[in-house]
Structure 1
Amino acid sequence: MIEAKAPFPPFTHETAVLKVRMAENAWNGKNPEAVAMAYTKDSKWRNRSEFINGRDSIVAFLKDKWDKETDYRLIKELWAFDGNRIAVRFAYEWHDENNNWFRSYGNENWEFNNEGLMKTRMASINDLAISEDERLMHWDSGIRPEEHPSLSDLGF
């Protein structure tokens, strides 16, 4: 059985924007098993200084991430695309177990197979300590509402 996840490469601007929003929605859903299904079985990641290989490792990584990053809210935005590759910029807000708030900024480079599954994800991320009053991502847990500002709208 061939696994697939539309839209498929080569990407157009419209399909690249859709792929980015689908990824944002999935990550905001915080279901590691569901998120992992968008990646190839042997997907390779670099997340900060961590190297992750395969869906089982992705699931374990995401479970640990979302156990530590409470009240996680993520916004992704298309930066560039070509063929089977997409570059994304993102920001997310979260707090730790001591209620210290952070905004994490970064860039991701994605490469997809012909079936639309991500085979490579390279992420560079920096954390900025913020006060709760400085938060800009306010919506109920889950998918970002359409009317919520984008990264560009927020001035990031």
Structure 2
Amino acid sequence: MNTQPLVPPFTQESALAKVRRAEDGWNTRDPEKVALAYTPDSRWRNRSEWVTGRQEIIRFVARKWARELDYRLVKELWAHEGSRIAVRFAYEWHDDAGRWYRSFGNENWEFDDSGLMRARHASINDAPIEESERRLRWAPGRRPDDHPGLTDLGF
């Protein structure tokens, strides 16, 4: 796996790689690892919640994954320019009562010169689904390279 930093200005190739690395990081469900992709003073808007800094990011994602069980995420590049990337995504999860959801959203990202994300704005909607309707099925961790992306899934 290539761990060389991906820094702005982003090309099509580096933006695609940045999106996949972000997806891979979130699919670890490791809050401390996820937080390392952000600047120490990173600012987020996630739905209607504002989060600032790595320690708040760690608490936020830990709380999220305690509630959103068996989380599986797919991200797709939407656009990029300079130090900014826009993505769309879908993830599936269930609550502690076994009810399944598919969450759809868009994110706008801005990066510093070292490639750390300094701003993240996420808009997300949740749709209840039946377990039989799940489309994001793989073992916990990184999405396999041969698993369909959002466009291929018709999302």
TM-score, structure 2 normalization:
0.97
Aligned to 2:28: 29
Identity across the alignment (%): 60
1:82-123 deviations in whole A, cap 9, x for unaligned?
Answer: 000000000000000000000000000000000000000000
Q: Which amino acid aligns with 2:140?
A: S
* Structure 2 alignment gaps of length 5 or more: none
Question: Which residue of structure 1 aligns with residue 72 of structure 2?
Answer: 73
Matched residue, 1:99: 98
Aligned residues: 152
Kindly report which structure 2 residues correspond to 1:45-84, keeping only aligned pairs within 5 A, or say none.
45-84=44-83
Distance 2:143 2:128 in 1: 22
What aligned pairs does 1:6-155 form with structure 2 within 5 A after superposition? 6-155=5-154
SS of corresponding position for 2:50: strand
Q: Cα RMSD over matched residues?
A: 0.6
Between the aligned partners of 1:60 and 1:12, the Cα distance in structure 2 is 32
Distance 1:48 1:8 in 2: 27
In structure 1, the gaps of 5 or more residues are none
DSSP-derived class of the 2:121 partner: strand
